[in-house]
Amino acid sequence: MKMKLREVYSALKIQADSIADVEITGVCFDSRKAQKGDLFFPLQGQRDGHEFINSAIENGVSATIWQSDHDIPNDKIPYVVVKNVSNAFETLAKYYLGKVNPRVIAVTGSNGKTTTKDMIAKILSTNNNVAKTPQNFNNEIGVPFTILNMPTNTEVLVVEMGMDRPGQIDHLSSIANPDISVITMIGEAHIEFFGTRDKIADAKMEIVVHLQEDGRFVFNGDEPLLLERAKKVNQEKLTFGNQDSNTLYATQISPGKTSTKFKTNLWPELDFEIPMMGEYNVNNALAALLVGKVSHIQPEAMQKALSNLFVTQNRTEWMKAKNGADILSDVYNSNPTAAIEVLNSLKEIKTAGRKLIVLGDMLELGDASKRLHESLFEHISPDDFEKVYLIGDYMKFLKDKLSDKYDSSNLFWYEKDQLADLTTDLKKELKPDDTVLLKGSHGIHLENVLHDLI
């Protein structure tokens, strides 16, 4: 970003008698990360952002926004008085987006959106100056922040969009006005707030409301809920997935512990490889390949880009236990779709010894919690996983279902405050050539088990 403070006033349609000759080279809302050249936005969070303006000044910001219902600030640095800080944040983002005028790729989905965003950015960067959402800054703060911090030479902007309520993605996409909208999949994440997958699909489809008239809609064609809703979309539609009815699908998948190879129908002569496990990540790659195709990236360049991928947030991570056992760790997030995906992927991986699984409660599933925890039953069997450890109130439902498959010497359940007992039992059982999966929502705190194992 590069903008004179006078231009900020103009973009926000604010009149002033005199404006300091200050150059703005970035924006920030976290005073701890403020630096010289930044314009500070005191956004309202758990605390009023105005409380941190002095801290931002100490860290070197060049100017600050100030909301008019607060006392007039001191004059240590230039300030811009606005009626509403959040609205000013979004207004300036829209202005700057129009000024730089990159092609915008918007990505959402119940799972896989961060990985897909990174894949798209990697592929498109082979032929463009690309900026992307940092980490998973995908809400009302993250999207404007992403836009305002893109370099002035940005040709393509890849924006991740998350949601926890209806209307949120509509609002975010109204800021970004995407040229390509991508939906990775529809799962059960946040079903507590939406009630049904139909309503989740409705909310995800908001990403096409502000799609450019000549834009493209890329989505998972294996999902009937999306196929039905896509009929109302006038822009060009391209689909990816497992079924051969899709625009792009994998014809052959070779799973591995740390990478996955696959072939596709559109480029049958090419062997693609991504440095991560799981067929679900192949679907993410297919979405990125479609975006690359319509962006005129050569298939060989896309192949090379995916093989050299580094993802922002690969929650599923291989680690080593102190005794040498392999640990597949995913202890900060879980929902039924993600749990099933990682269980199925682990089944396909060859290991030296036994496979054990540790599953913690999946949170924010609301009234569907019992049914959705029980739904994992079909994906767990003694043929694939010798021992099963479950922890949490809702995992008791899965334990009851699995009692028909497992005897008591191989199936264990713990109250959520019995992490220490789970850890003790697991450390006694785990052998050096075993492989163990740890997966649960962060509220169960399986990271403590992980810490003790390693």
Question: Residue 249, exposed/middle/buried by CB under 10 A (0-12, 13-18, 19+)?
Answer: buried
Three-state DSSP at 303 gives helix
Question: Would you say 366 is a known binding-site residue?
Answer: no
Terminal C-alpha separation, the chain: 43
Question: Would you say 323 is a known binding-site residue?
Answer: no
Distance CA 262, CA 302 (A): 13
Question: Would you say 115 is a known binding-site residue?
Answer: yes
User: What's the sign of the alpha-carbon dihedral 227, 370, 314, 149?
Assistant: positive
Three-state DSSP at 148 gives helix
Q: Which two tokens stand for residue 398?
A: 């899965």
Question: Would you say 111 is a known binding-site residue?
Answer: yes
Residue 214 corresponds to which amino acid?
D
Task: Please provide the DSSP assignment of 89-115 as one string.
Answer: HHHHHHHHHHHH--EEEEEE-SSSHHH
Among candidates 214, 207, 216, 158, which has minimal Cα distance to 186?
A: 207
**Largest Cα span, the chain:** 80
Question: Would you say 99 is a known binding-site residue?
Answer: no
Distance CA 429, CA 435 (A): 12
Distance CA 263, CA 259 (A): 14
Residue 183 corresponds to which amino acid?
I
Phi, psi angle pair for 263, to nearest 5°: -115, 165
- Contact yes or no for 155/334 (Cβ under 8 A): no
Length of the chain: 454
- Contact yes or no for 327/321 (Cβ under 8 A): yes
Distance CA 1, CA 148 (A): 6
The position carrying tokens 């922002």 is 312
Question: Would you say 114 is a known binding-site residue?
Answer: yes
Question: Would you say 109 is a known binding-site residue?
Answer: yes
Distance CA 89, CA 103 (A): 21
Question: Residue 409, exposed/middle/buried by CB under 10 A (0-12, 13-18, 19+)?
Answer: exposed
Q: Return binding residues for ATP.
A: 109-115
Q: Return binding residues.
A: 109-115
